[in-house]
Structure 1
């Protein structure tokens, strides 16, 4: 097909079912994405997170879940429960239903499902815009992490951030530090609260951790230079006296 890029199978197909593609599809259908990675808090306790909150074409509110694969009964129950807690309608973007029982349950509970085709066609120019937008967004957030004076990294968090930046999984980071997964997860949760960059998976969290480590190194260097400048100034004053 001329003027289009055909992407199929494997990791590429899973990528096409990612949140960014799903949200773009919803916007094309008249939905407005209000908030992404919305945390569910009940009585001050965080009990979960949804991929997005959206406003439908008729002004109704939806809890949106994006599934890279097919939707099963567990996924239906999850999005339905989250929608009830947030007083919204449940909506799932996925590759279809895992089986007939999942389809029946979705209809029974009123879960709206938008199914993506196995082969998803997008214009090459549109794909370029998506990639460029994602790269620009990640770059902008990285710059903010470096410069935002409101971000405070505790000394004890630096070791954990280092482990996150240099490992592939949470359990690997915990093993390297000799800590429990829960201990490392606390720092990871803090990191996700600091930047949306860390909420897109462990790989993105590694990038965010690396940026904060560079920030700490730069701050240390500036403090060292400041101390050196003070010593030089003091020495010059003595020589002048």
Structure 2
């Protein structure tokens, strides 16, 4: 469907939040897409000055609003619209290439240049003067990884690995003690598997399989003995349906 027939449903600062909503809409049969300006994935920190927009066909706008309203409260809080940071202007980009360092006026953006290419981007998302998100780049200009401090306590709690410019692995510290608890594995840049390893445990306590980023099957080791014993299915919207013991 052409972009001329699409309208903006809502917008976000974080791409992951926007993707969550897009997956919900697509599961409901709506052809939702993201609109951003990140140079084809080469500059994930550059977004539209309106934020990352979720577009839907004009004819499906009302139904899309209804689906958006049905997102669980905890998810809705995660994807709540924040004031978007400004987009880099052509002047900013030119200065980055010539000088190697650019500082934005909303929060703080610092680009570290190594001779002829940007090596990393340091971002202060809450404007407290402390870097809370960093992206790293190779000589080809593609992102190689990054990490973030999502609760702004000065410690990293989310780590990303990219392969050939596409996200490959994400690890998150959900209790903010410095040790990853859950990891997401991606296939062609789309989440395919979620593994829960509380405090870096060797044994996976919960594994979720995803298709097109939407959960389809969950395995749980309820007694923590190293063997999955409970299996749960999901409907087309990613909601849990039936649970049953794993057949051994």
The question of a shared fold, defined as TM-score above 0.5 by the shorter chain, is answered with: no
Greater percentage in helix: 1
Greater percentage in strand: 2
TM-score (norm 2): 0.23
- Relative CO higher for 1 or 2, CA cutoff 8 Å, sep ≥ 6? 1
TM-score (norm 1): 0.24
Larger radius of gyration: 1
